[in-house]
Amino acid sequence: FCKVTRGIRDWSGTAVQTCALQFYPRAKEFQRVETETRLGRPADEALQSMAYRLQSKIFEFVVLAVNIQRQVGGSLSEILDMVSDTVRGRVQFARKVRALTSMGRASAYVLVGMPFFLAAMIFLIDRAYIRPLWAQSAGHIMVLIGLISLGMGAVVCRKIVNFKYWGPDAFLLLH
């Protein structure tokens, strides 16, 4: 991320090219921004369109900070350093939350998989014991109710352990 901010600080072609080469997945976008600014498009608009194309919340945050700095004034390097610290803090927080919710996710996987595992084990051990679930209408209803309950439980578990964070693109910009 620091390399991105260095590339934004100095709008000379070499800085943007260096930034583009160091972030291979985003290289074409940085080259496009460089080309657009050379052709006379304002850097604010070129960055904003890049943020729109990348659909990266982190890069949108950076572009917003740069655009505000250009309008209000101040030290761009200080603003970009603050943005860098904020992004690092958010990514660390997202990693911490993901680690803390990993046990909940593992529990959800076990709870969802357990009925299928037990049904397979019972089927292998004593097929006559589980046959009424497949052969009788009451068994069909019980299986249907069980699957609906299992699906609802899986949705609830997912809502409990899912936490919205900046997503996988957060890790691409932190080099």
Render pLDDT for 101-137 as a digit per residue (tens, 0 to 9). Answer: 888 888 889 989 999 999 999 999 998 988 888 899 9
Contacts of 56 (CB under 8 A, 6+ apart): 169, 173
CA gap 2, 101 in Å, rounded: 29
Find the radius of gyration of the CA atoms of the chain.
26
What is the structure's pLDDT at 12? 46
- Write the pLDDT tens digit of every residue in 32-59: 888 888 888 887 888 888 888 888 777 7
The amino acid at residue 8 is I
Query: How far from the centroid of its chain's Cα atoms is residue 60's Cα?
Result: 14
What are the two backbone dihedrals, phi and then psi, of residue 164, each rounded to the nearest 5 degrees? -80, 130
Task: Summarize the confidence of residues 50-74 as an average pLDDT.
Answer: 81
Indicate whether this model's pTM tops 0.75.
no
